[in-house]
Amino acid sequence: MAAKTTNKINRIRTFALSLVFIGIFVMYIGIFFRSSPVIMTITMLLGFIFVLSSSAVYFWIGMISTNTVKVECPNCGKITKVLGRVDACMYCDEPLTMDKELEGKEFDPKYNKKINQN
The yes or no reply on residue 96 touching Zn ion (CB under 5 A) is no
3-state secondary structure 18-59: HHHHHHHHHHHHHHCCCCCHHHHHHHHHHHHHHHHHHHHHHH
Q: Which of 16, 19, 51, 73 binds Zn ion (CB under 5 A)?
A: 73
Residue 16 or 73 having the CB closest to Zn ion: 73
Residue 19 or 82 having the CB closest to Zn ion: 82
**In angstroms, how far is CA 7 from the centroid of its own chain?**
5
Phi then psi for residue 26, to 5 deg, are -65, -40
d(CA 22, CA 45): 13
Q: Which of 75, 99, 103, 104 binds Zn ion (CB under 5 A)?
A: 75
Residue 10 or 43 having the CB closest to Zn ion: 10
Contact 44, 30 (CB under 8 A): yes
Between 12 and 51, how does the x/- string for binding to Zn ion read (CB under 5 A)? ----------------------------------------
Residues that bind Zn ion (CB under 5 A): 73, 75-76, 89, 91-92, 94
